[in-house]
């Protein structure tokens, strides 16, 4: 997989991910304090200096900031891996479930929010949804390196399994209980719907409750990643500061 952008490349190097080769803009050749080049040398990673057109071609004209890396393909986790990760940390499970989010920029932004908030993992469906790709990696600004993502065949079945494990599952959607009046402490999973259709009716029925972000303007919907951020950090506020 090809990733581009300083933050995405830098976090891969910091996490000792398998970087097969690094391509750096010629303009950084004499930069003695370049943290990307320092880590590449320290980790014995091959790198070469390239002109802008070569870097543009490598990452299909994405905004690369002078850094492009060829890395191993992303490895998905299982839901069990995510739950074990939480248990090993001595924490109650905190997950985000995406129901049909198709925009890679939204997925990348959600991953960035979740990693910053300490969410243990994200669950996505195998079909009719975005998968991890170069755009997701770039938009996540390095968060992809640290996030556990489970790709499942049937989200509703996974929700039922989580509920049996004692995880409360909440759909973030219009028409429900005020988010700020709901107790979000304990083991929880927050379900975020697709950009165009929201959460499916069947999935909402599987959830323990529907929670709504109160809005006071004329527009009554938020971008999926923004809604995720609001809900996730309200849960963090309750968990850490109540």
The last residue of one of the domains, among 45, 71, 97, is 71
Domain with 201 in it: 79-241
Contact call for residues 132 and 152 (beta carbons, < 8 A): no
Same domain, 120 and 201: yes
Q: What per-residue string of b and e applies to 124-138 under the rule 16 or more CB within 10 Å gives b?
A: bbeeebbbbebbbbb
* Residues 144-150, mean pLDDT to the nearest whole number: 93
**Helix, strand or coil for residue 67?**
strand
Q: What is the pLDDT of residues 39-94, one digit of tens each?
A: 889 888 988 999 889 998 888 777 888 999 998 888 899 999 999 999 999 999 99
Q: Is 233 left (phi over 0), alpha (psi -120 to 50) or beta?
A: alpha
Sheet-wide strand order for 121-125? 149-152, 121-125, 94-99, 188-193, 168-178, 209-212
Same domain, 67 and 92: no
Alpha helices in 96-223 (DSSP H): 104-117, 134-139, 155-164, 201-206
By percentage, how much of the chain surpasses pLDDT 70? 99
Q: What is the CATH number of the domain that holds 182?
A: 3.40.1280.10
Same domain, 126 and 177: yes
Q: What is the pLDDT of residues 36-48, one digit of tens each?
A: 898 889 888 988 9
Among 99-108, 128-137, 198-207, where is mean pLDDT lowest? 128-137
The DSSP element (H or E) to which 99 belongs, if any, is strand 94-99
Same domain, 63 and 90: no
Q: What is the CATH number of the domain that holds 8?
A: 3.30.1330.30
Same domain, 120 and 178: yes
Contact call for residues 73 and 133 (beta carbons, < 8 A): no
Same domain, 127 and 62: no
- d(Cα 53, Cα 42) in Å, to the nearest integer? 28
Same domain, 151 and 38: no
Same domain, 51 and 160: no
Same domain, 220 and 100: yes
Same domain, 90 and 202: yes
Same domain, 93 and 64: no
Pair of tokens at residue 90: 């001595």
* Phi, psi (degrees; rounded to nearest 5) at 241: -125, 5
- What are the beta bridge partners of residue 121? 95
């Amino acid at each position: 997989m090809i990733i581009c952008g300083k933050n995405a490349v830098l976090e891969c190097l910091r996490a000792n991910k398998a970087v097969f080769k690094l391509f750096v803009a010629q303009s950084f050749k004499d930069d003695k304090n370049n943290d990307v080049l320092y880590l590449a040398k320290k980790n014995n990673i091959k790198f070469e200096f390239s002109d802008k057109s070569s870097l543009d071609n490598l990452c299909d004209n994405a905004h690369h900031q002078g850094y492009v890396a060829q890395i191993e393909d992303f490895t998905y986790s299982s839901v069990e891996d995510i739950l074990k990760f939480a248990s090993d940390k001595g924490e109650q499970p905190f997950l985000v479930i995406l129901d049909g989010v198709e925009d890679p920029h939204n997925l990348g932004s959600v991953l960035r929010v979740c990693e910053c908030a300490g969410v243990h993992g994200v669950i996505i469906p195998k079909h009719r949804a975005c998968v991890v790709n170069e755009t997701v990696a770039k938009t996540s600004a390095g968060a992809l390196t640290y996030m556990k993502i489970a790709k499942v065949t049937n989200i509703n079945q996974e929700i039922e399994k989580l509920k049996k494990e004692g995880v409360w599952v909440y759909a973030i959607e219009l028409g429900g209980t005020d988010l700020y009046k709901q107790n979000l402490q304990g083991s929880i999973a927050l379900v975020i719907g697709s950009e165009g259709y929201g959460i499916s009716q069947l999935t909402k029925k599987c959830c323990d409750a529907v929670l709504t972000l109160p809005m006071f303007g004329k527009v009554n919907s938020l971008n999926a990643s923004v809604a995720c951020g609001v809900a996730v950090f309200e849960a963090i506020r309750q968990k850490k500061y109540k």
